[in-house]
Amino acid sequence: MDVKIFQFNGCNKCFNETLLLKLDTDNKIQFISEPQNWKGEKTEVAVITGYLLPSDKKNLEKIKTNSERVIAYGNCTTMGGIFALANQHGYEITPLKEFIDNQINVNGCLGEIEELKSLITGDEPSELKTLCEVCARSATCEYLDSVHRQIELDDNETCYNDLGFLCNGFIAKECKERCINYNTPCRGCKPMVKRSGIRMLGMFGTLMGNIEVATEHSEKGATDKLGDEEDDVIRSLPDILGNFFRFTLPTSGLPKGRITSSGTLLENVFTGRLIEELPLISGLLGGSKSISLTLKIIESYEKANQIEISEGTKKYREELLTLETDLKKALENENPKQYKEITNKIRKIAGNMNLSNIFFGGFKSKINENDTFDDYKTHVFDVVEGNYKNGSVEYTVDPNGIIKEITIIEG
């Protein structure tokens, strides 16, 4: 079978993962990283990865007319993905279904390669359970007294939402990356319902029932009405967009964002997010660059605020950076076996390819059976206002822990 894989814009994480298609197969696989220069030969299956802009329309139509089946692989293509958070600042990242019809979607950040494999060969992909069904934690769904922004690692049995951490597991399908196994609430990259963000917002609004909401006296009606002032409900969720619409902003049905944009598209993804979300977002941006970016963000903050790092943490972080250089080499050589080996090693330390395990001050879960976890365990840190800089990354944090400005020099 003739398979062509196209990478449009974005982080290359899904595109890199498709290298694994080359393992044990008779299919003829071709990687095209510059679709604008593609001549347009007939092909059986076209796999599209990366986020799409209105300017990509012509190339997408060319792919559609020349291929029998089109598969959208990864969240950026199917729903907008993490990059679509830039739509808050007026960008127009658009999901594939707006350009062409009859495409097959493989959701996920990162999309699952097994699912893609079975779709290419034409097999039925296996039925997936909801994430809550496979989660080891149990829920009571009682009203919350407060919402917590940073995870505390003591309780392994109660549902994240019950503890007051925003977990998108309610609307998600089970996945391979499984952030919940590394003390990170689900990011919601594999939604099983339409308009998942809005549904999650309604659900969480209800859960917040015990948190006081501001009311005021209405002059005209002579009764009470919802107040306009800032209350505990608003303070509990400083960044609703980044929490509930992380991957689905263009398909959520919300109007287009009108906040004035400054800087590049990538910088706009980070602006307005919370400081504790930063390493989790940068972790999503592709294996071959994301590790160094994530560690740079974390280290600049740790250094400025005197968060102590243990020897164990340093050792694992160095190991990750070496793995990143190896990964780059494997990708240059297009060597799937080497790629698999290295990503497995990264997964062992960082939890998954989204680097869920890496955090400020250490790691969120035990890496090696023989380790003492306390050696490199993270703990809750204070949000400190200020400007942080480390090499190619510079960012400003406001008193609420929201990123006001960020500069990322790529390369």
Partner 1 sequence: MRMSECEITDELIKEKIQDVVVFMCNECGQGSANTAGVARIGYDPSIRIIRVQCTGQIGPIQIMDALNNGADAVACVGCCLGACHFFNGNVLSMHRIKLMKKLFKELGYSDQFVNQYTSRAAEGETAVGDFEDIIERLSTAIKDEGTIKDGC
Give contact residues for partner 1 (rule: CB under 8 A). 88, 195, 198-199, 201-202, 204-206, 208-209, 211, 213-215, 218-226, 228, 231, 233-234, 237, 239-241, 253-259, 272
* Backbone CA torsion sign across 394, 295, 288, 152: negative
Q: How far is the CB of 59 from partner 1 (least distance, A)?
A: 29
Q: Which helix (H) or strand (E) holds 403?
A: strand 403-408
User: Which is nearer to partner 1, 154 or 219 (by Cβ)?
Assistant: 219
Amino acid identity at 144 = L
Q: Read out DSSP for 150-167?
A: S--SS-SSB-HHHHT---
> Which tokens sit at 318?
């160095």
Q: What angle do CA 333, 337, 340 make, to 5 degrees?
A: 105
Q: How far is the CB of 212 from partner 1 (least distance, A)?
A: 10
* Backbone CA torsion sign across 271, 159, 113, 351: positive
Q: How far is the CB of 261 from partner 1 (least distance, A)?
A: 10
Q: How far is the CB of 98 from partner 1 (least distance, A)?
A: 16
Answer yes or no: are the C-beta atoms of 47 and 249 closer than 8 Å.
Answer: no
User: Which is nearer to partner 1, 247 or 388 (by Cβ)?
Assistant: 247
User: Which is nearer to partner 1, 40 or 253 (by Cβ)?
Assistant: 253
Q: How far is the CB of 244 from partner 1 (least distance, A)?
A: 8
Place of tokens 């400083």: 238
CB atoms closer than 10 angstroms to residue 269: 27
How far, in Å, CA of 3 to CA of 6, rounded? 10
Q: How far is the CB of 391 from partner 1 (least distance, A)?
A: 30
CB-based burial label for 136 (10 Å; 0-12, 13-18, 19+): exposed
Amino acid identity at 286 = G
Half-sphere exposure of 347 (CA within 13 A, CB side): 14
Helix (H, G, I), strand (E, B) or coil at 293: helix
Q: How far is the CB of 351 from partner 1 (least distance, A)?
A: 29
How far, in Å, CA of 193 to CA of 272, rounded? 26
> Which tokens sit at 389?
């800089």
Q: How far is the CB of 399 from partner 1 (least distance, A)?
A: 18
